[in-house]
């Protein structure tokens, strides 16, 4: 739950004995469809660009933060602690410790909450940078297990004879590479397949999904054109042009969308390439401080970061239902109701997933049968929901989306004059924040 | 109990007669959605749909209405029952027939109905969720298109062969065309269940639908609804030609079709398949041969001959004693999958097994994946580690076969705790001990365990011969002590023999049966006594087998004689599998308990074998020599010298092949009947099930009791008297058998 600084408070969510924690500012690189302008970079390059953008935007001295935390999902093995590589490269002091966290699509949420509750609230730090990065233009493709085993044995082989016999043992099957899949390890089901089943379980039609996707793209385009996406920084890509806009926003027509074939469940599925979020490259960063520190440094913080909750459920059949479970919980923790919230930013993994969550939140039966509640959660009103587009249109670099959502809520609260904002995102493994 | 089934049949018939008004259809109904008729099946009297008389009558009515309805362009056939499309034809309907001609007529009616479905001008899509077996599968493959859910419960197959029958409603004719001749034989001759994804690959279904999770309705309900939606779309697409019913054949398919188009190749296939069947069945089962004959008739002489052969052979098979025996076993198995002792006071959630040997680990394997927290305790690290590896291997093999995922394997194994001490035993609801078969050790264990378990905990002992009351003598709470006799290998053998003493409480029994059922076992509950039921029947047969060996018959010949009678495993091989040491132990114990009646072969033969280290398969040598990695086995050359020492002169008047077979079998059967006479057995059904599923008594004979009925008690007694004359009281028929011999109206089974 995010609350802005400027508006007059209807009720304060400050807790006695707990420091007020504020979002000073947040930035992100433009989110680009993977395989486009960022194609030749490495993940830490993107993260570095976001960090440099944050330094520039906030005029933060390079030694003024106590800690840097990054979230990422598919790790580049050379830079497994990508937070450290990016921070050093961005010119932050080498005295600042950095670590990298992972929790699928909510990795940067974990980065932020680790910083807020784990470090600032506990009195370990006063100022931290949290961020996320994902780079899908290049993913680690491995040799097969058999080949790796042979190669490792080759390392240990002492004689030429041993080496030759190992080389001789290589067969065609050894050469088949292992590709990373956007799939659950426990169920071996891909995310899109799961989303399609979820949509079917809640009776979400293809039409509803296409309509929601079109809404996302249309709103994103409007926001982009009217300059609302102020968190986007410009990035001069080495050897390429300056990039300053997201490139996945494509408002189309319902007729165009209807032409697409299902991407995962064939031939009768409803999830298509157009109503799913696409593979994206991008990085984000936010500056978080205790209120005292921010004020002392002369900042005008954008929002209070008040509360959060993580929930998880069955990774097979309820993989993407997290927002339904998490929303009432975090509201109860903060002492708020659905009506108190002025701005909703939900992560749009798939249009079908959002629609399924909305239907689940609107169902008494679901609330009673699966959530142990007496009545339904209630749905967020659409006039408060993802008004500047979402992951479907802006893109979804897995590790970076969480910071984008929080920054967007702060910016929308300021723009729309609201008091409370709520962020929700589902993640692989059936977890949510 | 068949009378009972017959009454059920009559009753249903009566009901169908009374309520035959079409407006009151209760089994089949339909509604029109746009231009698609959705035909829903739901037998109101049963958990599963079967093709009963009423189901067929109503289906025909509905089908006629659908054809006549101008607003309907196509149809979807679906079941409203979660987990069952159609489980098969109504067996009672077949059993109610008195002659082959009546059954043939039933078959022809089915054929006619499915022919109309096949030739329907309006395409029909079968939407399959759950079991689609036998007549259900024949119905589905008569439809123009099939959509199936990928649910684990969705299985397709033709299990008729397991009931001594053949697919009698067009299956033998349609399947070869649909899945190819080899595939069709594989399905019909093994009767195996085929999962949806495999069925898709084989060409048995056209499209798959994923089962759904929680939504706005329960997963089961919504999955059926979703299946219906997808099937309706398919039906529409067939009508508007978006889906073509003639599928493009791949290169492999074309090549296969070409090869199978050559008559010589087909003849070779029939020959090979017949050869395999003869080798497996020893010619004791008529159904597989009739299936081959029927398929051949259709392919070589055209559909008219094929369908006629199918109907006639179906009629003939239904009248065979083998089919009768197999159907009897089917009913018996269903009966032995029920808990006649009621619901136990508290369900077993935590279970401990003592001894991580072959049996202990096997019991753990069938328990741990049933939602029961399982402790596997041993006294030695090595033994425990071996046992845990056995359980792991059991589940890992399933992962390799893709019946479970590696994640499911790991999460199942997280409920298994291996340990050397009694930690956590205070929370355990049941302890099953599977330690060494020695009364003193069992007493020591029962005392140790009772010191740590809570008062409600049940103590079950896995023993094959020690009387339970002797073991319970060391217990402070004999009402909680019960015998659970598992068969090795536990994960493969279906039988569990539960033994109650006169002190065992009813709730203890109910609980043991409930655990056994969860473990997937077929259960017989018998009274206490030396060898209970199964071991007691087996012991005299093994004693006779030893005598036969002593008389100079070699193990291979002995095996051939027993398997020739229908036992799946020969007597010599069985002894090796059970373990010669165990056999010696049992022979000695039961010999003491029952006296000379259990004599015959000299126990010293077995004892000497044990002394020489010939303990059977586990020691690498027994009657045979076992070389790891080799399937074939040679007779143990040292056995011949050993037997020479104990040689007995064979009496030619009782030593023909047939006489040897009957010497072995009659002692088994007589002992089984005596167990019923003495009240060890609750009834002949459990006796038959125990003998077939636990000891491999020939399934085609249906068990010892059905065997007496079909063979004739008088004829059996006559043979036994002849053997008695030579060997004495080991062949004296028991009183109950004599009663049956005197009165040919007396029967154990109907």
Closest partner residue to B210 among A186, A197, A203, by Cβ?
Answer: A197
Q: Chain A closest CA to B676's CA: distance in Å? A: 51
Cβ-based interface (< 8 Å): residues of A facing B? 185-188, 193, 196-198, 200-203, 265, 267-268, 314, 316-318, 356, 359-360, 363, 365-366, 369-370
| Facing residue for A318 by CB, picked from B207, B213, B230 | B213
Contacts of B209 in chain A (CB under 8 A): 268
The predicted pLDDT at position B21 comes to 45
**Contact indicator for B365, B391 with CB cutoff of 8 Å:** yes
C-alpha span between B696 and B487 (Å, rounded): 11
- Report the pLDDT value the prediction gives residue A428, as an integer from 0 to 100: 60
Is A187–B405 a contact, with Cβ atoms under 8 angstroms apart? yes
Instruction: List chain A residues with CB under 8 Å of B218.
Output: 369
Residue A24 burial by CB count (10 A; 0-12/13-18/19+): exposed, middle or buried?
buried
Determine which of B200, B205, B208, B210 to mutate to test the interface with A (most A C-beta atoms within 10 Å).
Answer: B210
> What is residue B647's three-state secondary structure?
coil
Residues of B in contact with A200 (CB under 8 A): 210, 212, 215, 222, 226
Residue B454: its pLDDT value, please? Answer: 96
Positions in chain B whose pLDDT score sits under 70: 1-24, 247, 750
Quick one: closest CA in B to A365, which residue? B216
CB contact under 8 A, B209 and A316: no
Contact yes or no for B207 and A268 at CB 8 A: yes
Nearest-by-Cβ selection for B214 from A186, A196, A370: A370
Catalytic-labelled residue, pool A98, A105, A125, A403: A105
Number of A–B residue contacts, CB under 8 Å: 60
pLDDT attached to residue B17: 44
Distance from C-alpha of B318 to C-alpha of A144, rounded to nearest angstrom: 55
Cβ–Cβ < 8 Å for A134, A399? yes
State pLDDT tens for residues B251-300: 777 888 888 888 899 999 999 999 999 998 999 999 999 999 999 999 99
Say if CB A107 and CB A73 are below 8 A apart. Answer: yes
> Which residues of chain A make contact with B219, given a CB cutoff of 8 A?
201, 317
- Indicate which residue of B138, B497, B544, B671 is catalytic: B497
Q: Residue B248 has what DSSP assignment?
A: P
Contact B185, B273 (CB under 8 A): yes
List CB contacts (< 8 A) between B215 and chain A: 198, 200-203, 356, 359-360, 366
Least Cα separation, residue B41 to chain A (angstroms):
23
Given a contact cutoff of 8 angstroms between Cβ atoms, the answer to whether A237 and A37 are in contact is yes
Q: What is the DSSP letter of A120?
A: I
* DSSP alpha helix (H) spans, A59-114: 82-89, 107-113
- For residue B226, the chain A residues in CB contact (below 8 A) are 200-201
Contact A186 B407 (CB under 8 A): yes
| Contact assignment for A366 to B214 by CB distance below 8 Å | yes
Q: Is B443 on the interface with A (CB under 8 A)?
A: no
Cα–Cα distances (Å) from A125 to A19, A67, A130, B495, in that order, read: 12, 7, 13, 66
Among A193, A217, A347, A396, the one annotated catalytic: A396
The b/e string for A94-130 (b: 16+ C-beta within 10 A; e otherwise) is eebebebbbbbbbbbbbbbbbbbeebbbeeebbbbbb
Q: Does residue A237 contact residue A41 with C-beta atoms inside 8 Å?
A: yes
DSSP A405: H
- ipTM given for this complex: 0.92
User: Nearest residue of A to residue B230 by CA position?
Assistant: A268
In tens, the pLDDT along B705-727 reads 999 999 999 999 999 999 999 99
Cβ–Cβ gap A314/B222 under 8 Å: no
Question: Closest approach of chain B CAs to the CA of A133, in angstroms?
Answer: 29
- The nearest CA of chain B is from the CA of A201 a distance in Å of 5
Q: What is the mean pLDDT of each run of 10 residues along chain A (433 residues)?
A: 54 76 97 96 97 96 96 94 97 96 94 91 94 95 93 92 91 88 82 95 97 98 97 95 96 96 95 96 97 96 92 90 93 92 96 97 97 95 97 97 96 94 78 50
Cα nearest neighbour of A355 on chain B: B215
Interface residue of B205, B209, B214 to substitute, partner A, most A CBs within 10 Å: B214
| Chain B residues 366-405 with a CB less than 8 Å from chain A | 405
| ∠ CA B33-B39-B41, rounded to 5° | 140
DSSP letter (8 states) at residue A116: I
Is A369's CB within 8 Å of B407's CB? Answer: no
B419 interfacial to chain A (CB closer than 8 Å): no
Dihedrals phi, psi of A265, to nearest 5 degrees: -100, 115
Q: Could you tell me the CA-to-CA distances from B584 to B220, B465, B542, B615, B729 in Å, in that order?
A: 54, 12, 10, 10, 21
Mark whether B497 is an active-site residue: yes
Percent of chain B past pLDDT 70, that is, above it, reads: 96
Known active-site residue A125: no
The encoded tokens of residue A135 equal: 């780079």
List of chain B residues whose C-beta atoms are within 8 Å of the C-beta of residue A316: 213
The DSSP symbol for B585 reads: H
Q: How many residues does chain A have?
A: 433
* Whole-number Å distance between alpha carbons of B168 and B172: 7
Look over chain B and give the mean of its residue pLDDT values, rounded to a whole number.
93
Find the closest chain A residue to B213 by CA distance: A317
Nearest chain A Cα distance for residue B478, angstroms: 44
Label residue B321 exposed, middle or buried (CB < 10 Å: 0-12, 13-18, 19+): middle
Q: Which residues of B touch A268 (CB under 8 A)?
A: 207, 209, 230, 233
Judging contacts by C-beta atoms under 8 Å, the chain B residues touching residue A362 are none
In A, which residues are within 8 Å of B230 by CB distance?
A: 268
* pLDDT at A5 (0 to 100): 54
Burial of B303 (0-12, 13-18, 19+ CB in 10 A): middle
CA distance B214 to chain A (A): 6
Flag whether residue B214 sits within 8 Å of chain A, measured between CB atoms. yes
Residue B2: what pLDDT? Answer: 38
Q: Do the Cβ atoms of B233 and A268 come within 8 Å?
A: yes
Q: Is B407 on the interface with A (CB under 8 A)?
A: yes
Instruction: Search chain A and give the residue with CA nearest B226.
Output: A200
Query: Across the interface, do A317 and B214 touch by the CB < 8 Å criterion?
Result: yes
User: What's the half-sphere exposure (Cβ side, CA atoms, 13 Å) at A313?
Assistant: 17
């Amino acid at each position: 739950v995010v609350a802005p600084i400027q508006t007059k408070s209807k009720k304060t969510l400050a807790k006695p004995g707990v420091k007020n924690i504020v979002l000073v500012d947040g930035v992100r690189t433009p989110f680009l469809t993977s395989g486009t302008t960022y194609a030749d970079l490495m993940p830490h390059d993107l993260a570095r660009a976001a960090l440099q953008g944050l330094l520039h935007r906030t005029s933060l001295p390079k030694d003024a933060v106590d800690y840097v935390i990054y979230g990422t999902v598919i790790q580049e093995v050379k830079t497994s602690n990508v937070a450290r590589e990016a921070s050093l490269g961005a010119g932050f002091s080498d005295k600042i410790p950095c670590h990298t966290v992972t929790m699928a699509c909510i990795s940067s949420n974990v980065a932020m909450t680790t910083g807020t509750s784990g470090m600032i609230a506990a009195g370990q730090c006063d100022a931290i940078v949290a961020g996320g990065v994902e780079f899908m233009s290049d993913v680690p493709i491995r040799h097969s297990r058999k080949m790796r085993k042979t190669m490792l044995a080759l390392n240990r082989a002492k004689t030429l004879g041993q080496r030759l016999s190992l080389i001789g043992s290589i067969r065609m099957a050894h050469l088949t590479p292992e590709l990373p899949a956007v799939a659950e390890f426990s169920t071996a089901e891909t995310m899109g397949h799961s989303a399609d089943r979820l949509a079917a379980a809640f009776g979400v039609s293809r039409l509803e999904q296409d309509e929601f996707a079109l809404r996302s793209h249309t709103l994103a385009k409007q926001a982009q054109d009217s300059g609302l996406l102020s968190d986007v920084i410009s990035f001069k890509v080495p050897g390429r042009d300056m990039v300053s806009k997201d490139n996945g926003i494509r408002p189309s027509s319902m007729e165009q969308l209807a032409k697409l074939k299902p991407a995962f469940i064939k031939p009768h599925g409803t999830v298509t390439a157009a109503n799913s979020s696409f593979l994206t490259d991008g990085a984000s960063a936010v500056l978080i401080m205790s209120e005292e520190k921010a004020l002392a440094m002369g900042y005008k913080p954008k929002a209070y970061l008040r509360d959060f909750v993580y929930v998880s459920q069955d990774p097979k059949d309820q993989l993407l239902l997290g927002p339904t479970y998490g929303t009432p919980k975090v509201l109860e923790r903060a002492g708020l109701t659905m009506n108190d919230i002025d701005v909703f930013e939900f992560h749009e993994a798939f249009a079908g997933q959002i629609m399924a969550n909305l239907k689940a939140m609107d169902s008494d039966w679901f609330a009673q049968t699966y959530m142990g509640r007496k009545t339904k959660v209630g749905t967020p009103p659409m006039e408060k929901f993802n008004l500047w587009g979402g992951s479907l249109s802006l893109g979804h670099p897995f590790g970076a989306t969480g910071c984008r959502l929080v920054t967007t809520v702060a910016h929308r609260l300021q723009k729309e004059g609201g008091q409370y904002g709520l962020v929700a995102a589902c993640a692989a493994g059936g977890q949510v924040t | 109990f068949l009378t009972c089934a017959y009454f059920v049949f009559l009753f249903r018939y009566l009901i169908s007669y009374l309520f035959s008004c079409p407006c009151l259809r209760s089994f089949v109904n339909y509604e029109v959605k746009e231009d698609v008729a959705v035909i829903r099946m739901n037998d109101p009297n049963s958990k599963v749909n079967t093709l009963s008389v009423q189901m067929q009558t109503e289906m025909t009515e509905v089908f006629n209405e659908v054809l006549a309805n101008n607003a309907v362009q196509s149809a979807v056939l679906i079941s409203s029952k979660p987990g069952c499309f159609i489980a098969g034809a109504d067996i009672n309907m077949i059993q109610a027939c008195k002659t082959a001609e009546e059954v043939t007529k039933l078959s022809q009616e089915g054929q006619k109905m499915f022919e109309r479905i096949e030739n329907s001008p309006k395409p029909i899509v079968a939407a399959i969720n759950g079991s689609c077996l036998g007549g259900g599968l024949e119905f589905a493959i008569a439809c123009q298109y099939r959509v199936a859910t990928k649910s684990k419960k969705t299985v397709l197959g033709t299990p008729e062969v397991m009931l001594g029958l053949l697919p009698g409603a067009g299956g033998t004719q349609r399947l070869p065309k649909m899945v190819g001749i080899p595939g069709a034989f594989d399905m019909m001759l093994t009767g195996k269940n085929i999962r949806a994804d495999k069925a898709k690959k084989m060409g048995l279904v056209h499209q798959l639908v994923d089962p759904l999770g929680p939504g706005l309705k329960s997963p089961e309900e919504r999955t059926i609804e979703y299946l219906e939606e997808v099937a309706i779309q398919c039906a529409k697409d067939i009508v508007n030609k978006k889906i073509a019913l003639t599928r493009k054949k791949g290169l492999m398919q074309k090549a296969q079709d070409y090869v199978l188009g050559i008559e010589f190749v087909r003849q070779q296939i029939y020959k090979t398949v017949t050869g395999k069947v003869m080798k497996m069945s020893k010619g004791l089962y008529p159904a597989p041969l009739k299936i081959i004959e029927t398929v051949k008739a259709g392919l070589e002489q055209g559909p008219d001959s094929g369908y006629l052969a199918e109907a006639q052979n179906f009629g003939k098979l239904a009248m065979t004693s083998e089919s009768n025996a197999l159907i009897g076993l089917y009913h018996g198995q269903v009966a032995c999958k029920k808990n006649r002792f009621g619901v136990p006071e508290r369900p077993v959630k935590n279970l401990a097994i003592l001894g991580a040997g072959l049996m202990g680990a096997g019991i753990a394997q069938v328990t741990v994946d049933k939602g029961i927290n399982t402790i596997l305790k041993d006294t030695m690290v090595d033994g425990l580690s071996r046992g845990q590896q056995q359980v792991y291997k059991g589940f890992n093999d399933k992962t390799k076969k893709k019946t479970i995922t590696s994640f499911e394997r790991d999460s199942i194994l997280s409920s298994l705790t291996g340990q050397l001490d009694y930690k956590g035993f205070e929370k355990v609801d049941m302890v099953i001990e599977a330690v060494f078969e020695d009364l003193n050790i069992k007493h020591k264990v029962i005392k140790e365990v009772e010191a740590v378990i809570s008062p409600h905990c049940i103590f079950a002992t896995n023993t094959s011969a020690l009387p339970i009351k002797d073991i319970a003598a060391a217990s402070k709470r004999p009402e909680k002590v019960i015998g659970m006799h598992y068969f090795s290998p536990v994960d493969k053998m279906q039988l569990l023999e539960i033994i109650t003493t006169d002190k065992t409480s009813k709730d203890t029994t109910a609980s043991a049966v409930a655990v056994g059922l969860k473990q997937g076992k077929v259960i017989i509950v018998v009274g206490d006594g030396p060898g209970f039921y199964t071991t007691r029947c087996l012991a005299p047969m093994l004693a006779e087998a030893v005598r036969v060996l002593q008389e100079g018959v070699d193990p291979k010949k002995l095996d051939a004689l027993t398997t020739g009678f229908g036992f799946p495993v020969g007597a010599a091989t069985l002894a090796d599998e059970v373990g010669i040491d165990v056999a010696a132990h049992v022979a000695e114990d039961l010999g003491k308990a029952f006296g000379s009646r259990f004599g015959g072969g000299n126990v010293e033969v077995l004892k000497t074998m044990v002394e020489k280290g010939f303990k059977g398969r586990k020691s690498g040598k027994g009657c045979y020599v076992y070389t790891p990695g080799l399937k074939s086995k040679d007779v143990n050359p040292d056995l011949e010298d050993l037997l020479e020492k104990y040689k007995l002169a064979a009496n030619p008047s009782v030593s023909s092949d047939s006489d040897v077979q009957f010497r072995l079998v009659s002692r088994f059967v007589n002992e089984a009947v005596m167990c019923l006479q003495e009240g060890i057995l609750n009834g002949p059904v459990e006796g038959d099930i125990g003998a077939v599923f636990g000891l491999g008594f020939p399934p085609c004979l249906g068990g010892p009791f059905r065997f007496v009925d079909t063979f004739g008690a008088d004829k059996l007694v006559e043979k036994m008297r002849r053997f008695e004359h030579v060997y004495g009281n080991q062949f004296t028929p028991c009183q109950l058998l004599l009663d049956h011999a005197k009165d040919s109206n007396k029967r154990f089974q109907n």
